[in-house]
Amino acid sequence: MTIPSRTIGALVAVAVLAACGACASLQSPAPSAATPQLASSQQVMDWIAQIEARGFRRPAYPADAWTEQWLRERLIEFGLQNVTLDPIEVMRWEPQQWSLQVWHDGDADQVLELESWPVPLSAGAEALEGELVLSPQPGAHVAGKIAVVGLELMAWPQARMRDKVATWAYDPAGELDTLTQVLPMSERFQKIMDPEIAAGAIGFIGILDFPWETDRYYNPYDARPRPIPGLYLNRANGERLKAFMAEGPVHARISLRRLQAPAMSHNVMGSLPGRSDDWVVIGSHHDGPWNSAVEDASGTALVLAQAYYWSQLPQEQRPHNMLFLLNGGHMSGGAGLHHFAETQKDFLERQVVAEIHLEHAAREARAVDGKLVPTDKPEVRWWFTSFIPRLEQSVARAICKERLERSLIMPVEGFPSPGRKHPPTDAAFFHPSAPIVSFLTAPMYLFDPADRLDMVHEPSLLPLTRAVIDIVNDLDGVGAAEIREGIYAPPRPQKMSGCPAS
Q: Which is nearer to Zn ion, 233 or 341 (CB)?
A: 341
d(CA 310, CA 486): 27
Amino acid at 499: C
Q: Which is nearer to Zn ion, 45 or 142 (CB)?
A: 45
What's the closest the beta carbon of residue 285 comes to Zn ion, in angstroms?
6
Q: Which is nearer to Zn ion, 91 or 427 (CB)?
A: 427
Q: Which is nearer to Zn ion, 296 or 405 (CB)?
A: 296
Among 128, 188, 178, smallest CA distance to 153 is for 188
What is the number of the residue whose Cβ is closest to Zn ion? 296
What's the closest the beta carbon of residue 42 comes to Zn ion, in angstroms?
23
Among 372, 381, 361, smallest CA distance to 459 is for 361
Residues near Zn ion (CB under 5 A): 295-296, 359
Among 364, 368, 362, 363, smallest CA distance to 211 is for 368
- In Å, what is the CA distance from 183 to each residue of 186, 211, 266? 8, 11, 29
What's the closest the beta carbon of residue 299 comes to Zn ion, in angstroms?
6
d(CA 429, CA 438): 11
Amino acid at 155: A
Q: Which is nearer to Zn ion, 336 or 435 (CB)?
A: 336
What's the closest the beta carbon of residue 424 comes to Zn ion, in angstroms?
11
Among 217, 216, 161, smallest CA distance to 381 is for 161
- DSSP letter for 176, please: G
Amino acid at 253: R
What's the closest the beta carbon of residue 141 comes to Zn ion, in angstroms?
39
DSSP 232-255: EE-HHHHHHHHHHHHTS-EEEEEE
Q: Which is nearer to Zn ion, 132 or 331 (CB)?
A: 331
What's the closest the beta carbon of residue 295 comes to Zn ion, in angstroms?
5
d(CA 24, CA 479): 18
What's the closest the beta carbon of residue 359 comes to Zn ion, in angstroms?
4
- DSSP letter for 261, please: E
Q: Which is nearer to Zn ion, 103 or 189 (CB)?
A: 189
What's the closest the beta carbon of residue 153 comes to Zn ion, in angstroms?
17
What contacts 344, CB < 8 A, 6 or more positions away? 19, 20, 23
The angle, 0 to 180 degrees and rounded to 10, between the axes of the packed helices 461-474 and 299-310 is 50
Q: Which is nearer to Zn ion, 12 or 153 (CB)?
A: 153
